[in-house]
């Protein structure tokens, strides 16, 4: 693809960065076709084609859609764009989840649904993208422009002549809302929505009246005013003051450490964070939600800091440090293990995407995380004490007890074999549940992708997200770990994976219920109806596309299934149903569940 964003190829983002130009430059999105070969009355000078070109220019080459009568003409014009492919999904929720997964890899994603019945269905997925700071462009086919303000009642509404219900719902889960019901400001509204999504790294909502998508307008010719994003920069005085205060604090510390948080992604600061780790020699950990954002093959990487369920020896080093840098942290009840972290504010330097707080004291605003780390790395005093302490106390983890022949497979044994599958050509998607904890313990090779939805934690997210992620990076083999309860929520879009020739390996963890909820608070509602999952996927396959399914109950069967999936069936979608005992969980989930339950069960404060 020839479209450029600044000096970057828009067809594939690097490290999820779609629109970051070189320092001091202005990011411009320009069409590579020289001159305008399109007349005002041309079918290519329509609102729909303009929107399609803008999506491609921003980095979207696949849209995830569910057709409805209000968006059909719009879809005609979107799919007429040669560089934009339509991925038809089974329902709007999965279309939203797919756009979420796509954005995690490409840096931006898009879904297209119909008015209200489609918009409210996709709303949950957009809320999840908002919580995870993902720029997802949610496009809705809206009512005919002539119906606005007429007091008419339309289908796909709640029966009131007020068309704003959907818009009001999207207000709190998007950073910008554009209702395009006239052509005069359509160009401006669309450009503003897309640029806001990219700048804020949050979802946006665009409603297009159904009768406007096919309408030509002078502003929709191929050479309109270039679409540009002015780069943000730090306040120089604030940056200098923040660096000075931080150096003064860190250089007095005996054993400082640094911990990566999930907002490294939105700050586009992963490289700068690693640069600081290289320069400082500090021990480097990640919060659970930041796994995959920094290289785990770094010589000073010590694992996941997750309080009582951390990687062995990691929490001891972090919590005993006399100074810790947290880069883009979110300390919610899940990441803090029910608010049980043993951290002290007076020891912490909290670096957020646009501000820095030093030791529970002064906060420096208008300071960009990436610039802060870059400047800090130039002057920080090297101190490897914390890592040396870690190296002294570290004891390699043992292997699980070997399974005997025909002994039921155990989850710890299973993930020993999963570890061997990982490479730079794979990516891991972990569904909400015990997969969070088991996948968290995997050591990621350089270049291996990793995604999960920790802040929002919506069960079923991973099916759609796997679809979107795999579509964004077809060169990688995605390994998805999905619990049976979660799979029952969104299973249909395995169909879409097959339809688009994806070669994902899905490990369906069949343990008979909502295991993560059992460990928080058990009850009969956590037991689900068992399905014949492989038969279901075979029925969805229906002889169209490449698909292979199997059930495994024993270690030898798992080994054979992995061998088949990675060799003979390497070009097929592989579905491996793993039968596990209902009480076979990671020890981390047991500990985490009891602490989260205690946090949930706190009595009311005295009145």
Query: Which of 585, 271, 255, 320 lies closest to 433 in space, CA to CA?
Result: 585
pLDDT at 351: 98
- Close Cβ partners of 496 (under 8 Å, ≥ 6 residues apart): 87, 88, 89, 90, 94, 98, 467
Percent of the chain with pLDDT over 90: 78
- Identify the burial level of 345 via C-beta atoms within 10 angstroms of its C-beta, where 0-12 means exposed, 13-18 middle and 19 or more buried: exposed
Residues 454-461, mean pLDDT to the nearest whole number: 95
Tell me the pLDDT band of 38, cut-offs 50, 70 and 90.
Answer: low
Using left for φ > 0, alpha for ψ between -120 and 50, and beta otherwise, residue 427 falls in beta
pTM above 0.85, yes or no: yes
- List, edge to edge, every strand of the sheet that includes 426-430: 449-452, 426-430, 477-483, 505-510, 573-579, 547-552
Mean pLDDT of 80-85: 96
Q: Is the pLDDT of residue 34 over 50?
A: no
Average pLDDT over residues 405-424: 95
pLDDT at position 519: 84
Pairing relationship of beta strands 227-229 and 27-30 according to DSSP bridges: antiparallel
| 281's tokens | 């020699």
For residues 13 and 189, the model is more confident at: 189
CA distance 123 to 126: 5
In the prediction, which pLDDT does 222 show? 64
pLDDT of 545 strictly over 70 = yes
Per-residue pLDDT at 506: 98
Per-residue confidence (pLDDT) for residue 278, from 0 to 100? 98
Please give the pLDDT value at position 186.
95
Q: What pLDDT is stored for residue 40 in this prediction?
A: 53
pLDDT computed for residue 24 by the predictor: 36
**pLDDT at res. 33:** 39
Strand 426-430 with 477-483, pairing: parallel
Quote the Cα angle for 137-140-143, to 5°: 155
In which region does residue 120 sit, left (phi positive, over 0), alpha (psi from -120 to 50) or beta (all else)?
alpha
22 band by pLDDT with thresholds 50, 70 and 90: very low
Q: Supply φ then ψ for residue 479, to 5 degrees.
A: -110, 110
Say how far residue 108 (Cα) sits from the centre of its chain.
10
Average pLDDT over residues 524-534: 92
Q: Which residue has the higher pLDDT, 324 or 160?
A: 324
CB atoms inside a 10 Å sphere around CB 437: 25
Average model confidence (pLDDT) across the chain: 91
Residue 7 has pLDDT above 90, yes or no: no
How much is the pLDDT for 487?
Answer: 97
Q: Any known ligand binding at 600?
A: no
Residue 297 buriedness (CB in 10 A; 0-12 / 13-18 / 19+): exposed
- Percent pLDDT > 70 in the chain is 92
Q: Residue 438, annotated ligand binder?
A: no
**What pLDDT, on a 0 to 100 scale, did the predictor assign at position 149?**
77
511 is annotated as contributing to ligand binding: yes
What is the per-residue burial (b if ≥16 Cβ within 10 Å, else e) of 558-585? beebbebbeeebeebbbbbbbbbeeebb
Average pLDDT over residues 235-240: 97
Residue 110 is predicted with a pLDDT of 98
Cα separation, 354 vs 133, in Å, equals: 14
What is the tens place of the pLDDT at every residue in 305-363?
999 999 999 999 999 999 999 999 999 999 999 999 999 999 999 999 999 999 988 99
Identify the three-state secondary structure at position 255: coil
183 vs 209: CA distance, rounded Å: 10
Q: How many whole angstroms separate alpha carbon 504 and alpha carbon 372?
A: 39
Mean pLDDT of 471-480: 98
Which of 117-121, 145-149, 418-422 shows the lowest mean pLDDT across its residues?
A: 145-149
Lowest-pLDDT range of 215-224, 261-270, 477-486, 494-503: 215-224
DSSP designation for 604:
P
pLDDT over 70 (residue 1): no
427 φ/ψ angles, rounded to the nearest 5 degrees: -145, 145
List the domains of the chain with CATH numbers. 47-220 (3.40.50.970), 236-393 (3.40.50.1220), 411-593 (3.40.50.970)
């Amino acid at each position: 693809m020839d479209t450029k964003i600044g000096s970057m190829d828009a067809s594939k983002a690097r490290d999820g960065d779609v629109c970051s130009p070189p320092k001091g430059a202005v990011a411009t999105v320009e069409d590579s076709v020289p001159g305008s070969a399109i007349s005002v009355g041309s079918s290519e000078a329509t609102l729909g084609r303009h929107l399609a070109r803008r999506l491609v220019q921003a980095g979207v080459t696949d849209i995830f859609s569910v057709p409805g009568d209000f968006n059909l003409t719009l879809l005609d014009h979107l799919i007429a764009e040669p560089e934009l492919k339509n991925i038809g999904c089974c329902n709007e929720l999965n279309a939203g989840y797919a756009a979420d997964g796509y954005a995690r890899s490409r840096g931006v994603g898009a879904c297209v649904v119909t008015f209200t019945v489609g918009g409210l269905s996709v709303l949950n997925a957009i809320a999840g993208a908002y919580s995870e700071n993902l720029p997802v462009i949610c496009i809705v086919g809206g009512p005919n422009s002539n119906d606005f303000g007429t007091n008419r009642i339309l289908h796909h509404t709640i029966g009131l002549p007020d068309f704003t219900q959907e818009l009001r719902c999207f207000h709190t889960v998007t950073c910008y809302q554009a209702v395009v019901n006239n052509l005069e400001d359509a160009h401006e509204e669309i450009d503003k929505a897309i640029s806001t999504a990219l700048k804020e790294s949050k979802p946006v909502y665009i409603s297009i009246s159904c009768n406007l998508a096919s309408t030509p307008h002078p502003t929709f010719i191929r050479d309109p005013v270039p679409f540009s994003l002015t780069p943000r920069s730090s306040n120089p005085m604030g940056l200098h003051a923040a660096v000075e205060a931080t150096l003064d604090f860190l250089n007095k510390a005996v054993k400082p450490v640094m911990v990566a948080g999930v907002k490294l992604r939105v700050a586009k600061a992963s490289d700068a964070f690693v640069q600081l780790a290289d320069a400082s020699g500090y021990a480097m950990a990640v919060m659970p939600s930041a796994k995959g954002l920094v290289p785990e093959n770094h010589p000073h990487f010590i694992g996941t800091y997750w309080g009582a369920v951390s990687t062995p020896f990691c929490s001891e080093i972090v919590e005993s440090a006399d100074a810790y840098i947290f880069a883009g942290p979110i300390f919610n009840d899940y990441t803090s293990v029910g608010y049980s972290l043993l951290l002290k504010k007076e020891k912490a330097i909290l670096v957020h995407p646009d501000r820095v707080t030093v030791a529970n004291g002064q906060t420096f605003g208008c300071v960009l995380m990436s610039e802060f780390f870059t400047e800090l790395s130039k002057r920080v005093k090297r101190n490897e004490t914390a890592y040396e302490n870690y190296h002294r106390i570290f004891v390699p983890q043992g292997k699980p007890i070997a399974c005997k022949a025909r002994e039921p497979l155990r989850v710890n044994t299973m993930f020993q074999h999963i570890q061997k599958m990982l490479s730079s050509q794979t990516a891991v998607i972990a569904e909400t549940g015990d997969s969070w904890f088991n996948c968290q313990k995997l050591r990621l090779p350089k270049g291996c992708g990793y995604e999960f939805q920790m802040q929002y934690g919506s069960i079923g997210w991973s099916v759609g997200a796997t679809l979107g992620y795999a579509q964004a990076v077809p060169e990688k083999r995605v390994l998805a770990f999905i619990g049976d309860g979660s799979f029952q929520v969104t299973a249909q879009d395995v169909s879409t994976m097959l339809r688009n020739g994806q070669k994902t390996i899905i490990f369906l963890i069949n343990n008979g219920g909502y295991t993560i909820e059992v460990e928080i608070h058990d009850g009969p509602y956590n037991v689900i109806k068992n399905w014949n999952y492989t038969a279901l996927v075979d029925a969805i396959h229906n002889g169209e596309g490449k698909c292979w399914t199997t059930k495994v109950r024993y270690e030898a069967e798992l080994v054979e299934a992995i061998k088949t999936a990675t060799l003979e069936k390497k070009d097929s979608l592989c579905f491996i149903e793993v039968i596990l005992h209902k009480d076979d969980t990671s020890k981390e989930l047991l500990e985490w569940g009891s602490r989260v339950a205690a946090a949930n069960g706190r009595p009311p404060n005295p009145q």
